[in-house]
Chains A and B, each alone.
Chain A
Amino acid sequence: MIIFRILKKDFLRKKIVTIVVFVFIMLSALLVSSGSNLIVELSNSLNSLFSISKVPHFVQMHSGELDQLKIDNWSASNSMVKEQQTVEMITIDGSDLYLGESQKPEENSIMDISFVTQNKSFDFLLDMNNNIINISAGEIAVPVYYMQQKNMKIGDKVSLSNKSSNIKFTISAFIRDAQMNPSIVHSKRFLVSNTDYQMIQTTFHEKEYLIEFLLHDLKMADDFSKSYLSSGLPGKGPSVDYNLFKVLNGLTDGIVSGVVIILSLLLMIIAILCLRFTILSSIEEDYREIGVLKAIGISRNDIRKIYLLKYAAMGALASLTGYIASLFLNHFFTSNMLMYIGNAPKIFIQQIIPMGAAGIISMIVFLSCVIILRRFNRITAIEALRSGNSGDSLKINRLLHLKNSRITPVNVFLGARDILQRFRMYALLCIVFFFCTSFTIIPVHFLNTIKSTAFISYMGIGRSDIRIDLRQSDNIAERFESMVARISGDSDVKRFSPKVTSRFIMINNEGAEENINIETGDFSLFPLDYLEGRAPETADEIALSYLNNREMNKKTGDKLMLIVDGKNKEMRICGIYQDVTNGGKTAKAALPFNKNAVLWYTVSLDLNTGINAAEKVREYSDSFYPARITDLEGYLKQTMGNTIEQIKKVTIVSVSVGLAVSVLITSLFLKMLIAGDSSQIAIMKSLGVSLHQIRIQYITRSLLLLTSGIILGTVFSNTAGQNIISMIWSFMGASQIRFIINTVQAYLILPLLLIISVTITSAISITGIKKSSISEIVAE
């Protein structure tokens, strides 16, 4: 049967390209199923973790005196409250904690470490099987963060020691702590038995409290938080709600799944472009044959169906293979999540979502084939028979006639001219190069951005060498003053800026009074990147964090009424910044601070060049105890280290995929191009054009296409790529990111890598030109 003969011939002739398109569709399906699987698993596991551990809906941290009776009374009278619980925590200084066999204490850790006992009614600390941990005397359960960072195992030792005592524990479990799991949350809870807790209490006296609430309805969390903050109940510390816990827990894997899905979409586009090219060139080559078929009366629709059948079957098979392969790859992406959040049985719908995503890829491929094959309608039998040419070439501008070229080398000219002439065909290669460039550059940009110290300004922290945090403790005001005095007298310090966060009262949109935490000080020294507007400069300006602003529903330029020293003061909102610290709801103003409600102090400082930051940190840690001193490099590493690792994985995958795809496509494309051009090449050879000259023509083409692809891709990555990443980043409640571009990597190494691999590939591919013998073709 002639129809099947065509199909068979088509496959044999296009064996390699068919296989490559198959692989692309498969990879795309694989990534999209893995990405969506990660999302499904993430939300499913998060829900499971949150429900088993009974995460509180609202938590107020507090350091200082606490009157539980007052809280009980208030809770009893508040209709929103379902349950209340106050968690007492012994805060431990890092310099007293030794993990494993390490002789070095955790003094450089940015984490606030505290020891607790298991809670009674909610906010349970779970083990790696999501069971509520029961702990016996002498044992300890350690946050999963340390298991990953310090590679700790069950049975390892943990010791607490200061001048007066030394207590040893054996690790019996690792903790999944829905509140404090992610590395971006700088508090970590260690779990010990009640007896040990009593014993520790005798030597370690610092206490902190988590005042936790379960509500009847989670939707009331915002209202509840307002009513709590204006109740006058203890509140020396940040407050956090359920939704933020969720966001923070899902952050790293959310970003990874977003990037993976975007990669899969890019791959799919490339696959469709290749498909289009393959189908069109098949049609072109089959023109005569199709004409014959039509002439003998097989209908256009029949022919279209044959092709559609072939490519739809291929797309479906590739998607299926991709989905099955994803079952094996999923672990690569989910391992981090499994460790922190755990696994939960999936319901049927969740099982089929990744399959559905792969199915969508195959649907899109199918639809693209339908659209591409519309072209069949335009072929008439006579046209096909007569010309054997689909007439898909552009009319060339006069300037592009060879006769008008004065100095350009002929072969370079001919190579370049051909691109413009057969632009639609070459556009494929250019677009692929464009995608490959974006593919490699965007993740690299993102990785560099997230690794850079400037990145912390996206987390709400000004960029400085060292940051000092002073939380509630006795005589905090005096300590702060002496600390500032000491720093201002230190000749190693280039510049510094003390800031105080204190609680003010504002009038909200409904006219009610509400608490607001405002950081005051000079914001010009260690500036943040503002999403909108700028830092406050005059006493009537205030800047709001993104989350705070979203809740208040204000714009820059709007007014906000504060109560300062008992009097109303109208403030103008001058800027919005992103902040993920201290619950994300913060504000900044150039006011004198509210002495009666100071929450915490911070000092940012830069050192003179040549001063070792690590040594300075040690020196200050000793003198300013219990203030926490962090150098920004260390801060970033401890906070974002895990996320950076995950993004690194994705970057490696995407750079390799980008290079592999460009090499594959280049060699395929040139092979097909040379095969299609064989008669033209033979003619040129017979006229005395040397192989070398012909090769120059082809190399010119691939390099020109590559260069334009790289330029377009680089521009795209730096503009739209930035927006795409910002979109993913908005998982975090912060919405904008400006890439920090590593010029050498982005503009030199990556393009060079692409150019080298494409040039080598082209050079190898065009050796095929030799094989076409003149006599065979010219004699035809």
Chain B
Amino acid sequence: MEILLEAKNLNKKYVIGKQNELQILKDINIQIGRGEFVSIMGPSGSGKSTLLYNISGMDRMTSGKVLFNGRELSTLTEKELSGLRLNKMGFIFQHSHLLKNLSIFDNIIMTGYMAKSTSRKLINKKARELMEKTGIAGLADNDITQASGGQLQRAGICRALINNPDIIFGDEPTGALNTKSAGEIMELLEEINKSGTSILLVTHDARVASKTERVLFMLDGRIVADKKLGKCSGESGDIKSREEKLTQWLLEMGL
């Protein structure tokens, strides 16, 4: 399998006060393949979000290497990093984080317009298609205050997809949703993954993680386990057994 994203001996320290250092990530080594659907689990404070920010170039690592499509992130300028995130990566957050002064539609197309890879007309068309697919076509001109949490999360997904990224990062994208909405969002992500986009999710929810093909377990700044579940078939029986297997595993890991 072709490797899309790779971290080698990734370390992240925060300097607190004058002397104190706090090491959040300790010698992380991971490889994410193109088209892979991976989740990260672990107790609160173990460094999951930090890992996500560092391998996506949002935050600068302290030492180590991150290779994305073979390019080393630490050698890139701030502007090149931004360009990379804009064109090749998509992000979904726990609280959708749409820009509050733009309509839902404008939120989706903004990064598309900025990328300048196709005409604005085509971007608009693509956005409409995405909204159609995610079931929020009727909300285009709404303010972000005029939509439910689940709907906003879908808008966030549309935004992440507008530039056809190679990978989508999600930091607990279902964390703020009820079971039903969370299930729908996961279905969407599975579908996106099927079309070839890699996805890396941070989650606390075993049911969510059980839908991914591989689960990384973080503890105290290290990746302590890497469990391959294989592609999910989507049959209800399969889902049940994967979920049970994972829960069992998590119990063994002490969560």
Give A residues with C-beta under 8 Å from B.
387, 393, 396, 398, 401-403, 405-406, 410-411, 414, 417-418, 421-422, 679-680, 683-693, 773-775, 778-779
Contacts and interface: CB of A to CB of B under 8 A. Distances in A.
B106 interface: yes
B59 A773 contact: yes
A426 to B, nearest CB: 12
A704 to B, nearest CB: 16
Contacts of A396: 103
Contacts of B53: 774-775, 778
Nearest to B116: A410
Given A692-B79, A693-B114, A778-B171, 14 more contacts: A401-B106, A403-B106, A410-B110, A683-B98, A685-B82, A686-B85, A686-B91, A686-B97, A688-B82, A688-B114, A774-B59, A775-B50, A775-B53, A778-B93
Nearest to B12: A775
B109 A403 contact: yes
B158 interface: no
Contacts of B105: 401, 403
Interface in B158-182: 159, 171
Contact of A402 (B49, B82, B110, B145): B110
Interface string B88-113: 01010100011111110110011101
A402 B58 contact: no
B102 A687 contact: no
A689 B101 CA distance: 16
Given A422-B101, A685-B82, A688-B85, A775 B106 contact: no
Given A403-B124, A687-B111, A775 B85 contact: no
B227 interface: no
B58 A775 contact: yes
A778 B97 contact: yes
Nearest to B52: A775
Contacts of B111: 687-689
Nearest to B91: A686
Nearest to A773: B59
Interface string B66-91: 00000000000011001111110101
The winner among B53, B100, B102, B111 for most chain A CB atoms within 10 A is B102
Given A422-B101, A680-B99, A688 B84 contact: yes
B99 A686 contact: no
- Determine the interface band of chain B, counting residues with CB < 8 A from chain A: 35 or more
B238 interface: no
A85 to B, nearest CB: 80
A688 B163 CA distance: 11
The residue in B49, B82, B89, B111 that gathers the most chain A C-beta atoms within 10 A of its C-beta is B82
Interface of B: 49-50, 53, 58-59, 78-79, 82-87, 89, 91, 93, 97-103, 105-106, 109-111, 113-114, 120, 124, 127, 141, 145, 159, 171
Contact of A690 (B49, B82, B171): B82
Which 9 pairs between the two chains have the least Cβ-Cβ distance? A688-B86, A688-B85, A690-B82, A402-B106, A410-B113, A683-B97, A774-B58, A775-B53, A688-B82
A393 to B, nearest CB: 7
Contacts of A692: 79
B52 to A, nearest CB: 9
Contacts of A401: 103, 105-106, 141
A778 B106 CA distance: 20
Given A410-B113, A693-B114, A683 B79 contact: no
A686 B101 contact: no
Contacts of B59: 773-775
Nearest to A414: B110
Nearest to B88: A688
Nearest to A421: B101
A393 B100 CA distance: 11
A416 to B, nearest CB: 12
23 contacts: A387-B145, A393-B101, A398-B141, A401-B103, A401-B106, A402-B102, A403-B106, A403-B124, A422-B101, A680-B99, A680-B101, A683-B98, A684-B99, A686-B97, A687-B91, A688-B84, A688-B89, A689-B86, A689-B111, A774-B59, A775-B50, A778-B93, A778-B171
Nearest to B99: A680
Contacts of A387: 145
A402 B109 contact: yes
Contacts of A686: 58, 85, 91, 97
Nearest to A413: B113
Contacts of B97: 679, 683, 686, 778
A405 B100 CA distance: 19
A406 B120 contact: yes
Contacts of A690: 78-79, 82-83
B50 to A, nearest CB: 7
B76 to A, nearest CB: 12
A688 B83 contact: yes
A539 B110 CA distance: 77
A687 B49 contact: no
Contacts of A422: 101
A687 B159 contact: yes
Most buried by B among A396, A687, A693, A775: A687
Nearest to A780: B95
Contacts of B78: 690-691
A422 B102 CA distance: 12
Contacts of B110: 402, 410, 414, 687
A559 to B, nearest CB: 68
A569 to B, nearest CB: 76
Given A775-B49, A775-B50, A683 B99 contact: yes
Contacts of A398: 141
A560 B113 CA distance: 77
A687 B114 CA distance: 11
B101 A688 contact: no
Residue from the set B50, B103, B127 with the largest chain A CB neighbour count within 10 Å: B103
A779 B106 contact: no
Nearest to A691: B78
A410 B99 CA distance: 14
Contacts of B98: 683
Nearest to B53: A775
Nearest to A694: B82
A691 B97 CA distance: 18
A775 B24 CA distance: 13
